[in-house]
A and B are shown apart, each in its own frame.
Chain A
Amino acid sequence: QLQLQQSGPGLVKPSETLSLTCNVSGDSISGGRFYWDWIRQTPGKGLEWIGSLTYGGATAYNPSLKGRVTISVDTSTNQFSLKLTSLSATDTAIYYCARLVLWTYQYDSWGQGTLVTVSS
């Protein structure tokens, strides 16, 4: 049974960097049938795609985040991570990791979500 378990802080100070990790169990992150994504949700903007990690390690990011985002993978621990720099209050959101199924491109499994508040 696939499980995506998120970890990371719930409170981060403005201008600092957010680091979240998604531990994948029940599937290999290196398998060739899925991408591994981060999505966030706010009451104002709704659901926003942050970026994707492909099985080959390539990445794609939302241009709206203006180069502040990095998604990386650790195949030895079957985890992938999100780093978002230069945080401001507008980055306050619930952050989700999710699995994207190729080639129909739907999210069939999600992490539990992490509420991240940016505040001093």
Chain B
Amino acid sequence: DIQMTQSPSSLSASVGDRVTITCRASETISNYLNWYQQRPGKAPKLLIYAVSSLQSGVPSRFSGSGSGTEFALTISNVQPEDFVTYYCHQSYTTPYTFGHGTRLEIK
């Protein structure tokens, strides 16, 4: 299975900050890398697909980058509603796998 190593596991930031979450795949996954946001008690919500494509309706402060095995999610100008948990997901090959999540906390 492809292992997805997400870091950091938690991150403290202030409103207005720019933050970056990284995800490393154990082997190349081309551009089959997606990012989700999850609020407590809710299902994950798609933010970014295919490394850098913004899902419809998602604010433009969210962006994705990377290639091969190294990827990043950047939130510029963090807003109060962004302090939740984020997951990366590889869909290059089954079994699809996810990172263990990054919890964004208010500093």
- The answer to whether B55 and A108 have CB atoms under 8 Å apart is yes
Quote the shortest CB–CB distance from A5 to chain B (angstroms): 12
Name the residue of chain A whose CB is nearest to the CB of B100.
Answer: A46
- The answer to whether A62 and B94 have CB atoms under 8 Å apart is yes
Q: How large is the interface on B (under 10, 10 to 19, 20 to 34, 35 or more residues)?
A: 20 to 34
List of B residues within 8 angstroms of A106 by Cβ: 34, 46, 49-50, 55, 89, 91
Query: Which of A's residues lie within 8 Å of B, judged by CB?
Result: 46-49, 52, 60, 62-64, 96, 98, 100-101, 104-108, 110-113
List of A residues within 8 angstroms of B98 by Cβ: 46-49
Q: What CA separation (Å) do A89 and B78 show in the bound complex?
A: 39
- The answer to whether A107 and B94 have CB atoms under 8 Å apart is no
Task: Give 28 CB contacts A-B under 8 Å.
Answer: A46-B87, A46-B101, A47-B87, A48-B98, A49-B94, A49-B95, A49-B96, A49-B98, A62-B95, A64-B95, A98-B43, A100-B91, A104-B49, A105-B32, A105-B34, A105-B91, A105-B92, A105-B96, A106-B34, A106-B49, A107-B36, A107-B44, A107-B46, A108-B49, A110-B44, A112-B43, A113-B42, A113-B43
Q: Beyond the given A46-B100, A107-B44, A110-B43, could you list 19 further A-B residue pairs with CB under 8 A, ordered by the A residue number?
A: A46-B101, A47-B87, A47-B98, A48-B98, A49-B98, A62-B95, A64-B95, A96-B43, A104-B53, A105-B92, A106-B49, A106-B50, A106-B91, A107-B89, A110-B44, A110-B45, A111-B43, A113-B42, A113-B43
Q: What CA separation (Å) do A107 and B32 show in the bound complex?
A: 12
Q: Is B97 an interface residue (CB 8 A)?
A: yes
Mark out the residues of chain B between 66 and 107 whose CB falls within 8 Å of any chain A CB in the assembled complex.
87, 89, 91-92, 94-101
Give the number of residue pairs across the A-B interface with Cβ within 8 Å. Answer: 59
List of B residues within 8 angstroms of A62 by Cβ: 94-95
